[in-house]
Amino acid sequence: MKHSSLSLPEVLDDAFAVAVRVASPWMGVLWLTALPLRFLQAHFAARVFELGAEAGEYGAHLLELATLTMLAFLLSLWGRAVFVRATGLALRSLESAGWEALRLAPVAGLSYVYAALVFEVLFFALGWTLVGLPLFVLLAGLAAATFPLNDRPGLLRPLREIARHGTPLRVLLGLLLVFGVALLIAALNLYFVFRLGLWLAGGVPGLDLTAWRGLLELTTPRFRLALLVGAGLAVEPYWLAALVVHVHKVRSRESGEDLKLRFARLRREAA
């Protein structure tokens, strides 16, 4: 296989095209299942920082919140798995995926939950160092993108599949950089949308916006977390689609499926 032939713009182009094709309804499914997790994560972070140095004394309350967050994490994994399957099916058939996307193989699903939890644990244990953060984000994304390849249960197989598709590193690092910048731009856009909304609401006579002005300030931690949640939700479908395209391209160049798809596309264009 020639890894060097895989380029970042090619992956990004295909990812955008396929994400648009599966947007209705699968992007909605992804967002709906991710929303409870993102809000609970933001609430947990805000609560911890409100408690500050006394957070240790509220162990039971934080444990309750953490359990809810992790249950929401399991729900979000289902949404991610459905979106990844829909993207994979759309890539292979050149058409939008139907209800078949909901039919997840139990083995593949369980392997995905296992791999995602492994990286979540590593993220919690080492993410605060900031150095490992992008690495765990990438590994968690690759766990989602490679989950349909797990046809047998096992503790090493899902991790082996992730390692097998972890090349070319140049493309994956490029994707991390592009989506890191995209996250910042999405957060900035969202901030200006909120400010614009506030400015427009200011034109409504008799409407007291004093409280909202305080809440929608960048100095408010919960507003900063809300911006991060919104930006994450906006970028996530394209990030997942890019990783699915990457995995698909690495695999199809081994089997020659890329050539078959190219011929199918040419035939369709000719017709």
Partner 1 sequence: MVCRKVVCRECATEWDGINHCVTCLASRRRAERTRSSLLAWVAVLLTVGLLFFTSVRLLVWTGVFLASLS
Q: How far is the CB of 219 from partner 1 (least distance, A)?
A: 15
Say how far apart CA 20 and CA 262 lie, in whole Å.
19
Q: Which residue has the tokens 């996250």?
A: 183
- For the chain, the first-to-last Cα distance in angstroms comes to 32
Buried b (16+ CB within 10 A) or exposed e, 77-112: bbbbbbbbbbbbbbbeeeebbeeebeebeeebbebb
Structure tokens at 163: 């390692």
- When the beta carbons of 15 and 144 are compared against partner 1, the nearer one is 144
Is residue 62 at the binding interface for partner 1, with CB under 8 A as the rule?
yes
Subset of residues 89 to 128 that bind partner 1, contact rule: CB under 8 A = 107, 110-111, 113-114, 117-118, 120-121, 124-125, 127-128
- The site string for partner 1 over 73-92 (x = CB under 8 A, - otherwise) reads xx------------------
Is residue 152 at the binding interface for partner 1, with CB under 8 A as the rule?
yes
Binder of partner 1 out of 52, 203, 205, 206 (CB under 8 A) = 52
Name the nearest CA neighbour of 226 among 190, 253, 192, 198. 190
- When the beta carbons of 45 and 183 are compared against partner 1, the nearer one is 45
Q: How far is the CB of 105 from partner 1 (least distance, A)?
A: 11
Task: Give the number of residues in contact with partner 1, rule: CB under 8 A.
Answer: 39
Please state the separation of Cα 219 from the chain's center in Å.
27
Residues in CB range of 216: below 8 A, 6 or more apart: 194, 195, 198, 223
Which DSSP helix (H) or strand (E) runs through 247? helix 221-255
Subset of residues 245 to 264 that bind partner 1, contact rule: CB under 8 A = 254-256
- Contact residues: partner 1, CB under 8 A: 44-45, 48-49, 51-53, 55-56, 59, 62-63, 66-67, 69-70, 73-74, 107, 110-111, 113-114, 117-118, 120-121, 124-125, 127-128, 151-155, 254-256
